[in-house]
């Protein structure tokens, strides 16, 4: 009877050699074809098989968590900078000196810088700090997730959109404030959530907080008036214009989708077309219907800002709006 050869187990053989012997059919010197197959086995190339890794320390776990969660995050630059500028101008220059050259002037709609510089003008400390706190909350968070250039574009275009909306729906008032930009940033968050819903972290919580913030912000003016008698002339038209502009501009800049490029590009093109359409409509109304706007009595008053402002209130026209 044929007897199989006796197999002797080498007790000193290392675990890695045992695995290699089993994978190569019993030989420690595999053929070329077997080497190719061995290279594709992930467990043979794992350096942690023969050594047990010690548990990570608290410091190492913290660094690993931060590196995972702070990846692709940005340092907020624009929103803190513009907030400091607004605070500095209010306390160093004052409302009266800022409103006339930089606020929305119903007699001088052709001075186009006012549609942006309105964000520098605030008429009371309450008005200033409500805007500052609001834009720091919503703007800084947006700037951390995206870069400051995109947030700057959303903020400034929202201010312009809110200013143009004032000329359409509240054409007889002086206006000041930056809440059109704040509402643009707020609805930028809404746009980013809708566009990146399936990949956004804590999406339901973020949506709830945005809705809660919006309700509190809208309800602030009536609450102040009822409880403490503080009356604020809020320009809802500026808020709506800023929110709509911020939402549309965010569609262009904040879409992170990589799996549906055609849909993302189509939404960007549609948003651009809608923004340009609204811009043309607003400018067209301002140009085509001059009779619905206030006009200077004569050209000698073109640079008499203070005199025009005084005459405006002597006629008991509408009060100025804060936005």
Each domain of the chain, given as residue ranges in start order, spans 73-296
Question: Helix, strand, or coil here: 322?
Answer: strand
Backbone angles phi, psi at 305, to 5 degrees: -60, -45
Please report the pLDDT score of residue 179 as a whole number. Answer: 92
Please report the pLDDT score of residue 29 as a whole number. Answer: 53
Question: Of 305, 276, 282, 300, which is closest to residue 171 (Cα–Cα)?
Answer: 282
Please report the pLDDT score of residue 38 as a whole number. Answer: 45
List residues bridging with 175 in a β-sheet.
104, 321
CB neighbours of 175 closer than 8 A, spacing ≥ 6?
A: 103, 104, 118, 163, 166, 235, 238, 320, 321, 322, 323
Q: What is the C-alpha to C-alpha distance for residues 129 and 90, in angstroms, rounded to an integer?
A: 11
Please report the pLDDT score of residue 205 as a whole number. Answer: 85
Q: What is the C-alpha to C-alpha distance for residues 296 and 106, in angstroms, rounded to an integer?
A: 10
CB neighbours of 117 closer than 8 A, spacing ≥ 6?
A: 101, 102, 103
Please report the pLDDT score of residue 299 as a whole number. Answer: 80
Please report the pLDDT score of residue 69 as a whole number. Answer: 58
pTM of the model: 0.76
Q: Is 1.20.1540.10 the CATH classification of the domain at 73-296? A: yes
Please report the pLDDT score of residue 180 as a whole number. Answer: 94
CB 104 within 8 A of CB 172: no
As a residue count, the chain comes to 323
Question: Of 314, 311, 295, which is closest to residue 110 (Cα–Cα)?
Answer: 295
What string of pLDDT tens digits covers the 323 residues of the chain? 444 444 444 445 555 555 555 655 555 455 554 444 444 444 444 455 444 556 777 766 776 665 665 566 788 999 999 999 999 999 999 898 999 999 999 999 999 999 999 999 999 898 999 899 999 999 998 998 888 999 999 999 999 999 999 999 988 889 999 999 999 999 999 999 998 888 877 888 888 888 888 888 777 777 766 776 666 778 889 999 999 999 999 999 988 777 778 888 899 999 999 999 999 999 999 999 988 888 888 888 888 888 888 888 777 565 566 66
Measured in whole angstroms, how far is the alpha carbon of residue 121 from the centre of its chain? 22
DSSP string of 76-125, one letter each residue? --HHHHHHHHHHHHHHHT-HHHHHHHHSB-TT-TT-TTHHHHGGG--SSH
């Amino acid at each position: 009877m044929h007897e199989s050869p006796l197999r002797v187990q080498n007790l000193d053989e290392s675990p890695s050699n045992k695995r290699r012997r089993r994978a190569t059919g019993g030989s420690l010197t595999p053929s070329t074809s077997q080497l190719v197959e061995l290279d594709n086995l992930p467990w043979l190339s794992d350096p942690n098989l023969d050594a047990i890794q010690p548990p990570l320390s608290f410091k190492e776990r913290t660094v690993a968590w931060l590196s995972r969660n702070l990846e692709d995050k940005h340092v907020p630059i624009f929103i803190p900078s513009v907030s400091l500028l607004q605070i500095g101008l209010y306390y160093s220059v004052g409302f009266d000196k800022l409103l006339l050259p930089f606020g929305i002037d119903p007699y001088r709609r052709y001075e186009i810088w006012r549609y942006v510089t309105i964000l520098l003008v605030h008429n009371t400390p309450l008005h200033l700090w409500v805007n500052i706190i609001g834009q720091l909350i919503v703007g800084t968070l947006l700037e951390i997730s995206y870069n400051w250039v995109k947030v700057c574009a959303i903020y400034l275009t929202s201010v312009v959109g809110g200013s143009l909306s004032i000329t359409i729906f509240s054409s007889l008032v002086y206006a000041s404030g930056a809440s059109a930009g704040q509402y643009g940033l707020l609805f930028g968050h809404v746009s980013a959530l809708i566009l990146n819903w399936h990949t956004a972290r804590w999406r339901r919580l973020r949506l709830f907080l945005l809705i809660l913030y919006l309700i509190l912000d809208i309800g602030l003016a009536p609450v102040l008036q009822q409880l403490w008698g503080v009356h604020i002339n809020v320009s809802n038209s500026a808020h709506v214009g800023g929110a709509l502009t911020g939402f549309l501009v965010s569609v262009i800049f904040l879409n992170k989708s990589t799996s549906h490029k055609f849909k993302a590009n189509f939404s960007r093109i549609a948003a651009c077309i809608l923004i340009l359409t609204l811009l043309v409509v607003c400018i067209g109304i301002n140009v085509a219907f001059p009779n619905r706007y206030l006009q200077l009595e004569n050209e000698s008053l073109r640079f008499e800002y203070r005199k025009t402002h005084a005459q405006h209130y002597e006629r008991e026209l509408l009060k100025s709006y804060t936005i």
